[in-house]
Amino acid sequence: MVSVRRASRPSYQASPSVIARKRVYVLFILMTGVFIALIFRLGWVQIVKGPELHARALEQRMRPVPVDPRRGTVYDRNLRELAVSISADSVYAIPAEIRDPVAAARQLASVLEMGQDTLLAKLTTRQQTVWLKRKVEHDVAARIKEMSAPGIGVAESGQRFYPRDTLAAQVIGIAGIDNQGLEGLEQLYDSELRGVRGQIVAERDATGKEIPEGEHSYAPAKDGNSIVLTIDEVIQYICERELERAIADTRSEKGIILAMDPKTGEVLAMAMRPTFNPNDYGRYPSSLRRNIAVCDMLEPGSTFKVVTSAAALEEGVVTPTTGFYDAGHIKVEDRTIRCWKAGGHGSQTFTEAVENSCNPVFATIAIRLGPETFARYVRAFGLTDKTGIDFPGEAVGMMHSASRMGPVELATSGFGQGISVTPLQLLNALCAIANGGTLMQPMLVREVLDPSGALVRQFAPTRIRQVISERSARQLSAILESVVVNGSGARAAVPGYAVAGKTGTAQKPERGRYGDKRVASFMGYAPANDPRVAVLVVLDEPKTDIKYGGVLAAPAFAAVMRDVLRYMEIPPMDVAGAPTQQLASIVATVPDVIGKTNQESLAMLRAAGFGVRAEGAGDVATNQVPKAGSRVAAGTTVVVYFGPEELYDLEDDFVEVPDVTGKTLKEAVLLLGARGLAVQPEGRGIVSRQQPSAGAAVRRGSAITITLEE
């Protein structure tokens, strides 16, 4: 057998030159692709992302130093400053510029009175700028500047200062070290008051050194706007002064005095004790910063009877002369509701029941109204909703719902037990009676001003709803006036003025039961025929044997109202013998009594139907207010100033000029007028200069120029 062997094919092998040529082609293609990709990437970076990367690089080279704006001023209604910003120095560091943080921390520790470790941590932080210490003393700032340490600087910033210290502290609130509002109106209006922070920026290299001819920029801070409150500094001071006296006299735990304009809802004063100093608020417990007039509730007690009375008059359940009989108690289901007077008041009209603050009568009236109607009027007076006042953290009043209000709950609610309201809600309800039946929204801020003083925004009084008719409001106002004239509010009377008001004494609930602790209160308004101001006084837990509001709170109300009416220059009126509404409609001419003797002056004024109040010691009338010939309401009290006869010697053409420096305009006018001299005032405030000077002899009738300054 013959074997056949196949010849194998020879394998093909490329020559070295061909292989080399292919490798060159592949490498060329790869390099071309990489080159094209680099071109595209370069274009993307340079053209598309160029502006963004340039900005980021610039940001890394820039070292900003913040510039704080000046926080806006808080003014009272007459543009008196209540909170201002003053300049203060703060020390900052730029960590990137500090070459030896350990040495810098050691050097700064003694100057800033800070721990070296604390400073070192701040100096080595990765932030661009860091505050080392805020609000340093001037001498400390001067020493830091003298050190000229790289990366350490001093920046001026604003510091909040309250020039009136504790005045209206819980209303204004506080601002923190970083120029931010923390509490009160400072917090609520922080966006207006804060302003916009600025900065100083300089371009620096990687070592932190400033680049010559580098970019520099300054973005100025925008100062904050200012706010003008409805608070009147003088009325606020009067309320705080009398509240301190009342608390000291009664040894109460705390107290509140509120004053409002019944026609507009503007809060004129909001005083609370105990209080704190916002310039050093860290030394006081935080509880003292709470605005208890807005944020806390209390049982109103008998002051709430004005709401029950308004509902009863409006619904026709009673009239001022409706008769009641008080046996000293009333039985409601299984409960006995007792009168504060043992044996009761016997037969009395509705007006007398309000004067006597008789609980059984008001329990009866509430039951006659029924739960639905009673609850509707409580809601209408705004006692179960927020008032809408521009203040943070306002509380809401509470009461039983109509569906869950049984006869006992309804009866006790009628005289203010088992109901909780805020002091502000209570006074606002009274204002609705004083102004003719309209519920207004309380307000604390009137205007917002820009840093130049131009008006940015103005807040107008807001009418919420008509609660009762004007007729019912007039009837109730006359009854509340009778409470002061004939009833439990006698200690709230202000001579020369018609005052309407209501006393209140509430038991404080403790652990679900009523104990021995009391809240004594009084609220009212004046003048009763044309109310200009309403005031609420609350004394919490007085430590006296007698705890009635008519005994403890009413005198404080009278003291406040007397000074406020005088400050507001509301002329006194004599209401003896005629209702206030009738006096306003009878106009009479004031006779001239200057130069008359004491007896002659009094006889002339009384014969003309005017009341008289004598001031000074002497036999001859030297001045009178209102002036002779004035057309005023009959019954107005005329104030007559008497002096020695030699002050009114008509035979003598020359008089000696008295010294009026340091006196108010009104005091200066009265003093100069008593000597027959005219007044030419310039400016406002207190008399600082006068021309001719004190002691000079001038002709009677001469004008004395007085310069007044704030």
- Judge if 584 and 530 occupy the same domain: no
16-48 burial, b at 16+ Cβ within 10 Å, e below that, comes to eeeeeeeeeeeeeeeeeeeeeeeeeeeeeeeee
On whether both 392 and 485 belong to a single domain, the answer is yes
Determine if the pTM surpasses 0.75: no
Percent of the chain at pLDDT exceeding 70: 83
The mean-pLDDT minimum among 425-434, 510-519, 582-591 falls in: 582-591
Q: Work out the mean pLDDT of the chain and round it to a whole number.
A: 82
Q: What pLDDT is recorded for position 44?
A: 79
Instruction: Report helix, strand or coil for 419.
Output: coil
DSSP label at residue 303: G
429 and 563 belong to one structural domain? yes
Q: Where is the domain boundary, 567, 597, 626?
A: 567
Least confident of 1-10, 91-100, 636-645, 654-663: 1-10
pLDDT value of residue 673: 62
Give me the domain span that covers residue 241. Answer: 233-567
Asked if residue 175 is part of any domain, the answer here is yes
Q: What is the mean pLDDT of residues 309-317?
A: 93
pLDDT recorded at residue 585: 43
Quote the CA–CA distance of 206 and 158 in Å, as a whole number.
32
| 674-691 per-position pLDDT tens digit | 566 767 777 767 888 898
The CATH number of residue 149's host domain is 3.90.1310.10
Model pLDDT, residue 669: 65
Instruction: Report, as an integer, the average pLDDT of 363-386.
Output: 92
Q: Is the pLDDT of residue 68 over 80?
A: no
Is 446 a member of any domain?
Answer: yes
Binned at pLDDT 50, 70 and 90, residue 583 comes out as very low
**Average pLDDT of the segment spanning 221-228:** 90
Q: At what angle do helices 101-112 and 116-123 cross, to 10 degrees?
A: 130
| d(C-alpha 259, C-alpha 242), whole Å | 13
CATH of the domain at 325: 3.40.710.10
**Residues 559, 435: one domain?**
yes
Residue 629 carries which side chain, given as an amino acid letter?
G
154 in the same domain as 101: yes
| Residue 187 included in any domain | yes
In percent, the amount of the chain with pLDDT more than 90 equals 33
Judge if 388 and 433 occupy the same domain.
yes
Q: Which of 567, 601, 618 is the last residue of a domain?
A: 567
Confidence check: pLDDT of 577 > 60: no
Kindly report the backbone phi and psi dihedral angles of residue 4, in degrees, each rounded to the nearest multiple of 5, phi listed first: -110, 130
Q: What CATH number is given to the structural domain containing 657?
A: 3.30.10.20
- Residue 305's identity, in one-letter code, is K
Q: Which residue, 569, 684, 701, is CA-closest to 626?
A: 569
Residue 16 lies in a domain: no
Sheet holding 686-691, edge to edge: 678-683, 703-709, 686-691
* Nearest C-alpha neighbor of 531 from the set 266, 350, 313: 266
Q: What is the mean pLDDT of residues 86-98?
A: 77
Catalytic residue among 85, 157, 226, 302: 302
C-alpha closest to that of 97 among 225, 250, 208, 248: 208
Same domain, 203 and 262: no
* Residue 302 annotated in active site: yes
Per-residue confidence (pLDDT) for residue 137, from 0 to 100: 76
Domain end residue (candidates: 515, 536, 567):
567
Are 304 and 451 in a shared domain?
yes
| Residue 702: inside a domain | yes
pLDDT at 27: 83
Q: What's the pLDDT at 335?
A: 83
- Are 368 and 444 contained in the same domain? yes
CA distance 390 to 171: 11
pLDDT at residue 244, as a whole number: 92
Residue 261 has pLDDT above 70, yes or no: yes
Query: Which of 600 and 266 is assigned the larger pLDDT?
Result: 266
Together in a domain, 548 and 641:
no
